[in-house]
Chain A
Amino acid sequence: MPSRPLENGGRGLEIAGATPLSTDQHFKDALSVSTNSIQSLAESLSELELPQVRAAILESNDRCNLVNPEGMHRAKDVYDILPPETLDHILTCLDRGALFNCVTLSKQWSRRVIPHLWRSPWMSYYNAWVKLVRTLAITSEKTHHVILQQHPSEPTLSERDDSQSPCLPSTVTGAKTSPYSQFVLLLDFSSLYYIVSDAFLSQLLSFTPNLSEIVVNSPKQFSDDSLLLLGKCCPQLRKLELPGCTRITDKGFFFILDHCSHLVSIGLSNGTRISDRSIQKMAHMFSGQLQSFNVSNAALVTGLDPGLTTLAIWCRNLVSVNMANCQLVRDPLLGHFSDSLLELNIAHCLEVTDKGMVALAEACPRLRVLDMTACSLVTDQGVYTIGQSCQGLRRLVLDDRYGRVTEEVLVQFPSWGKEVLQRRRELGWKSGSSRV
Chain B
Amino acid sequence: MTSQILLTSSEGTEFLVDRDIADKSMLLKCMLEDIGDIGQAVPLPNVSGPILTKVIEYCAHHRNDPNFQSANDDASADIGEWDLEYCKVDQGTLYELILAANYLDIKPLLDLTCKTVANMIKAKSPDEIRKTFNITNDFTPDEEDQVKRENGKFSSGSSLKTEKNDSG
Inter-chain contacts of A83 with B (CB < 8 A): 99, 102
> Quick check: B121 and A101 within 8 Å, CB to CB?
yes
B129 touches A101 (CB 8 A): yes
Asked if A78 and B151 sit within 8 Å, CB to CB, the answer is no
Can you name the residue of chain B whose Cβ is closest to the Cβ of A21? B134
B134 contacts A74, C-beta separation under 8 Å? yes
Q: Is the CB of A105 within 8 A of B150?
A: no
A381 is an interface residue with CB less than 8 A from chain B: no
Partner of B125 from A101, A128, A139 at Cβ < 8 Å: A101
Complexed CA–CA distance, A63 and B93 (Å): 10
Contact B150 A192 (CB under 8 A): no
B60 interfacial by beta-carbon distance below 8 Å: no
Contact A110 B157 (CB under 8 A): no
Alpha-carbon distance between A175 and B62 when the two chains are bound, in angstroms: 54
Chain A residue with minimal CB distance to B75? A93
Are the C-beta atoms of B121 and A94 separated by less than 8 Å?
A: yes
- Known A-B contacts A77-B136, A83-B102, A109-B135; A188 and B164 likewise in contact (beta carbons under 8 Å): yes
Give which listed residue, B114, B126, B153, contacts A102 with CB less than 8 A: B126
* Contact for B157 among A19, A74, A78, A97, CB less than 8 A: A97
Instruction: Work out how many contacts link A and B, with CB atoms closer than 8 A.
Output: 158
* A247 touches B (CB below 8 Å): no
The listed residue (A20, A91, A93, A110) touching B134 by CB distance below 8 A is A20
The answer to whether A89 and B110 touch across the interface, beta carbons within 8 angstroms, is yes
| B-side interface residues, number (CB < 8 Å) | 55
Among the stretches B18-26, B29-37, B139-147, the one at the interface with A is: B139-147
Taking a contact as CB atoms under 8 Å apart, the answer to whether A89 and B114 are in contact is yes
A157 at the interface (CB under 8 A from B): no
Contact of A98 with B121 at beta-carbon distance under 8 Å, contacts A20-B91, A107-B139 already known: yes
Contacts of B67-114 to chain A: CB distance below 8 A: 75-76, 90-92, 95, 98-99, 102, 110-111, 114
Q: Is the CB of B155 within 8 A of A106?
A: no
**0/1 string, A77-88, CB within 8 A of B gives 1:** 111011101100
A6 within 8 Å of B by Cβ?
no
Q: Is the CB of B95 within 8 A of A103?
A: no
Closest chain A CB from B43 CB (angstroms): 18
